[in-house]
Chain A
Amino acid sequence: MSGATTIRPELTQAALEAAPPGRLKDDPILITFGMLKTFGGIRAVDIDHLEIERGTITAIIGPNGAGKTTLFNLLTGFDRPDRGSWRLDGRLLGGLPPHRIARLGMVRTFQLTKSLSRLTVLENMAVAAQTQRGERLERALLRWLWQPEEARVRERAQALLERFGLAHMAGDQAGTLSGGQRKLLEMARALMADPTLVMLDEPTAGVNPALTESLLEHIRDLNAEGVTIVFVEHNMDVVMDISDWVVVMAQGRILTEGPPQEVVANEEVIDAYLGRPRDTADGEEEGDA
């Protein structure tokens, strides 16, 4: 297990051996230790240890107020934990601002879709490009420095839009898209940023069944290309359908984790979902609004 401790320097040998079954992954891309976030005394997130296996699709489920979105916010730098450390590909991310974390390859989407309304669909895509150095002020006026790269960016954006079935709307303002189309655009935009790990916050919320099917198809395709995917989801059909691994959260903690079939059979999970009514306070879920 010496390899296990080198990628997890925070953990002692004893702690490693005490880890619940399934928690240790063979090739984790993301490792989190001792993550705690409290809001006014309530522990919104309190996670000892969480690992995400590279190249998998991991679903995070749990009742409203379980801390799923807060966890996303913490991992992607949009919120600061009270304590805790986490690594992406071995690199510590604590204290980094969100844009630095995104540049390292962890790109997120939002529960409430954030399309850039008064930019065109194509511009929405182009903003996500990581290679356009004309975005630097000192080069902005020197058109010849960024024009060639701009052509490549547009080409790639167009190809992605093609794939997501939005190419015919490339010149439209993003605000004119339907809710489902915005979800697609947001996912396509996240891809444009060349991520190694994509964090999708309720990708199918408010999307009609036909479009949901197409969204899931895209998630599978992406995963097939080697992108690791973590997503928050309420729809258990979706979870059972596409995830390789399921993490169940309740009241900020990890209740259990495992392959989907095992998790749905777990008594504790059933209790968490059915034994307790879904609480109405979803302020936490809207924390990023």
Chain B
Amino acid sequence: MSNARSLRSVVALVAVAVLSLFLFGSAQAQDGEGEAFSGTLRFGGEPVEGVRISVVGANGEAVGEAVTGADGRWRIELPGPGTYRATIDTDTLPEGVTLRDPERQTLEVTVTAGRSRPLIFALGEPVSRGPNVGEKLAQAVLNGVKFGLIIAMCAIGLSLIFGLTGLINFAHGELVTLGAILAWYFNADTFGAPLILAGVLAVVVAGAAGGGVEFSLLRPLRARRLGMFQFMVVTIGLSLLARHVMLLFFGPDRERYIDYALQAEWTFGPFAVTPRDFTIMALSAVILIGVAVFLQRARTGKAIRAVADNPELAESSGIDVDRVVLVVWVAGAALAAVGGVFFGSVEAVDWLMGFRLLLLMFAAVVLGGLGTAYGAMVGGLLIGLVTEVSTVWASPEIKAVFALGVLVLALLVRPQGILGQRERIG
């Protein structure tokens, strides 16, 4: 997830490097006058003027010096083939401009006869290379919070549905995908609606779909007292069905929304975030707080908690359990769809995204305490943080492994979850 971002910057970097090689390669071919070092200093796309670069020979003897021009270019002729050390004088860099990698202030380069070698002193924000773990950590924490909030939002419905009806909904991930894909249809495919409108429409449709499944399929089956296992199989069937219907219509490729695709990052100290991601995090937080307030204050919210606590008691005290379950299905599906749109915005939309996310949602709800909304929130945030922070040290491909590690650890220490009620399990 975050690796996609850093991957993008790495790709961009490589592209720039290759491109500049090309440019200088041809420039030098025109010159064709023996050995030289040359290059262009740029910062944020703008040439940097007045920076001194000096070259010494193998024995430390000074060879030449150059100062970049208004176009950021510099060139130093060399006495002949051999190995030279080029150093950029960082004191001459303008205020606020630094080397991307401080260790590459001096470059040792071998030049063959008749060749001009382009040298790149990359300026700008340090990339995730070298020992600046602190900054990587800060960025990972930010990403962790971002994905954690999204996972939490997706998982609330999963956890509450389990709390109310004892059902593990294997098709919950498909609600996430449904939201993301519908928004893509409204936004990028046919209608060209702005993403915000498309997202709202998608969320409404997904909420209705969730309510429809509960009302027309699960409620009648509950009335027939189907066992937990049979219900699991029903949701597995639904998941296979929904996922592959979406595959049929959407296809196997990854797609992106039209709006907010490319944005410059805002930086706050060690944190860099695009306005889009910032908005998503803020919206997620607001929605989660809204859910919490709803559960605490609203009549229906209190009823949800009462049913989750003890369905029989709630029913006998006059709560319409079926209605409460329906509300949770609609709201849970809608929240999952919101998560899907956000996730599709941050990453990309594809037919398997929800199913992949389902495992993290499972980890989140078990970690936080199966059956509670707050557990899903806390668990989601924790899973998001753990997976993202792990990428500071480990390969991003295996970040989900850390989610499981935390899960197993939690099961050993506190099987009822972080916020789960202490009861005998098993």
Contact = CB atoms under 8 A, between A and B. Distances in A.
Asked if A and B are interacting partners, one says yes
Interface of A: 39-40, 78-79, 287-288
Interface in B390-426: 422-424
7 contacts: A39-B422, A40-B422, A78-B424, A79-B424, A287-B423, A287-B424, A288-B424
Contacts of B422: 39-40
Contacts of B424: 78-79, 287-288
A279 B205 CA distance: 47
A288 B425 CA distance: 10
A287 B422 CA distance: 12
A288 B426 CA distance: 10
A287 B423 CA distance: 8
Interface in B57-92: none
A76 to B, nearest CB: 13
A39 B422 CA distance: 8
B417 to A, nearest CB: 16
Contacts of A78: 424
A253 B423 CA distance: 22
Interface in B280-312: none
A78 B423 CA distance: 12
B154 to A, nearest CB: 30
B166 to A, nearest CB: 14
Contacts of A39: 422
Interface residues of B, number: 3
Nearest to A289: B424
A287 B421 CA distance: 13
Interface in B304-362: none
A78 B425 CA distance: 11
- 7 shortest A-B CB distances, which residue pairs? A79-B424, A287-B424, A40-B422, A39-B422, A78-B424, A288-B424, A287-B423
A288 B422 CA distance: 14
A6 B127 CA distance: 74
A39 B423 CA distance: 9
A79 B425 CA distance: 11
Contacts of A288: 424
A39 B424 CA distance: 11
B307 to A, nearest CB: 16
Interface in B126-158: none
Interface in B81-127: none
Contacts of A40: 422
A40 B424 CA distance: 13
A40 B423 CA distance: 10
A69 to B, nearest CB: 12
A88 to B, nearest CB: 22
A215 B226 CA distance: 34
Nearest to B423: A287
A282 to B, nearest CB: 11
B426 to A, nearest CB: 11
B273 to A, nearest CB: 41
A78 B424 CA distance: 9
Interface in B152-168: none
Nearest to B421: A40
Contacts of B423: 287
B38 to A, nearest CB: 75
A138 to B, nearest CB: 26
Nearest to A288: B424
A78 B426 CA distance: 10
A285 to B, nearest CB: 14
A186 B321 CA distance: 35
A271 to B, nearest CB: 28
A288 B424 CA distance: 8
Contacts of A287: 423-424
Contacts of A79: 424
A218 B67 CA distance: 106
Nearest to A78: B424
Nearest to B424: A79
A40 B422 CA distance: 8
A99 to B, nearest CB: 14
A192 to B, nearest CB: 25
A9 B423 CA distance: 33
A216 B84 CA distance: 103
A153 B255 CA distance: 67
Nearest to A40: B422
